[in-house]
Amino acid sequence: MRNLSVPILYGLIVAAGLIVYFLLLSIFDLHKNPFYSVFNLVITGAGIYLAISKFRRDQGQKFKYQEGFVTGLTTGFIATIIFTVFFGIYATELEDNFIEEMLVVWDTDWFMNTGMLLFTVALMGFASTFVLSLSFMQLLKDSWNTTEAKKHTF
């Protein structure tokens, strides 16, 4: 089994960053506006990029695309799960009318319970993690445009 210390460490750091950002927004009463969740991509992206970079440095010449991709996925999934649990506790225990006040911003007649909201938060996190991991692996993978690789073409 490969070493999971890098994705776990960076997943915890990303989750802490997302929680701190959310709490900072709540101080200014901006956490009810979904627009500010766009910055979550920046926090998650920075963490995934740093995790894959660290893993690549640790692996050296043995670095493989698949393992780097799994490192990014694991980092993002850990962060998403921790943040979703925090968000669920916040929405149900710490601020009673949070869901109703947040939906006023969207101006819809939808009925959204806590489960739907948590599912949406988790789905957004997982989808962002998948896309960011694929994107960063394109930057961090080894190039095939080398003299050694050109020997193996037709």
Element at 33 (helix H, strand E): none
Residue 10's nearest CA partner among 54, 42, 41 is 54
Other Cβ atoms less than 10 A from the Cβ of 98: the count is: 19
Q: What is the pTM of this model?
A: 0.85
10, 50 Cβ separation under 8 angstroms: yes
**pLDDT of the chain, 154 residues: tens digit per residue:** 457 799 999 999 999 999 999 999 999 988 887 788 899 999 999 999 999 999 999 988 888 889 999 999 999 999 999 999 999 999 888 887 777 777 665 556 666 677 888 898 999 999 999 999 999 998 877 666 666 666 666 6
What is d(CA 43, CA 29) in angstroms, rounded to the nearest whole number?
20
